[in-house]
Each structure stands twice: as structure tokens, then as C-alpha cells.
């Protein structure tokens, strides 16, 4: 490698800097107040979000684990029984203390947007009380 190429390579390597450290996954436990037919779609979506690498799903409530709890009420948005849009409430707890609550509204044709919002709400709740 010529001196000029070495200089350019070193300049680029220093300018790029070290790779940012990746945050460890957030330990979470998912809880449902009441398992019901209307809530199956919401549960499926929340479980998909919590399966992302940013989260570490626990099988039980342990110390320090963020508890994500879906309320028993899931509202279908629309006037008929075939409505595919829905809303529900998530409440967040840690070590027995209530941290926050978020209202989620999910449109059937924008479930990715809803999933991203749920992920942001879980991440935000995790920062509370740390």
C-alpha cells in the first residue's frame, strides 16, 4: 500500500470512529388482564414486538423486569362486527410500581406503524425510574 493510500485509509478509519455500543435487550414480561377473543389480534402484535432483538421476553415477573400489561378491554374501531382496526391500553410496571400507561391504536393496513409505536412505548417506559 502506498503512503498516500495508507493516509487516506487511516483518515477514514479515525473519522468513522468506534462502532457505537449496542444496548442490551430490555427484560420484559407480558401480562394480559383477561384473555379474550377480541384481544387476540392485540396480543399477537404485542408478542411480535416483544420478540424483537431489543427485548428479552421473560417467563415470569422477576426483579427489575419491565412488566407490560394489556388491559382486558380491546375496542374494535368501526360500526360492524368485521371491523379490523382496534385500540387497547398497555400499562407498564417494574418491581410492583406502576410506571406509565399508553393507548395504542392499530389500523389493519398499518400494523407496522402500530408495532413500531408499541416498541417505542415499551422502550420509553423502561427509561422511567432507572
CATH of the domain at 33: 3.40.50.10070
96 by Cβ neighbours in 10 Å (0-12 / 13-18 / 19+) ranks as: exposed
Residue 18 contacts by C-beta under 8 Å, 6 or more apart in sequence?
A: none
Is residue 15 within a helix (H) or strand (E), and if so which, with residue range? helix 3-16
pLDDT grade for 39, boundaries at 50, 70 and 90: confident
Confidence of residue 14 (pLDDT cuts 50, 70, 90): very low
The answer to whether 29 and 62 have CB atoms below 8 angstroms apart is yes
Q: Is the dihedral of CA 52, 113, 92, 22 positive or negative?
A: positive
pTM (two decimals): 0.79
| 95 found inside a domain | yes
**pLDDT of 30 higher than 70:** yes
Mean pLDDT of 13-36: 72
How many domains would you assign to the chain? 1
Please check whether residue 54 lies inside any domain of the structure.
yes
Amino acid at each position: 500500500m502506498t503512503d498516500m493510500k495508507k493516509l487516506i485509509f487511516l483518515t477514514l478509519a479515525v473519522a468513522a470512529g468506534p462502532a457505537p455500543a449496542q444496548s442490551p435487550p430490555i427484560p420484559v414480561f407480558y401480562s394480559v388482564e383477561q384473555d379474550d377473543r377480541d384481544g387476540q389480534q392485540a396480543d399477537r402484535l404485542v408478542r411480535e414486538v416483544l420478540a424483537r432483538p431489543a427485548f428479552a421476553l421473560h417467563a415470569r415477573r422477576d426483579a427489575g423486569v419491565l412488566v407490560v400489561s394489556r388491559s382486558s378491554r380491546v375496542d374494535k374501531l368501526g360500526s360492524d362486527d368485521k371491523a379490523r382496526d382496534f385500540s387497547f391500553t398497555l400499562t407498564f410496571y417494574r418491581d410492583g410500581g406502576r410506571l406509565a400507561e399508553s393507548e395504542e391504536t392499530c389500523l389493519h393496513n398499518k400494523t407496522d406503524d402500530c408495532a413500531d409505536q408499541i416498541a417505542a412505548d415499551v422502550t420509553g417506559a423502561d427509561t422511567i425510574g432507572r
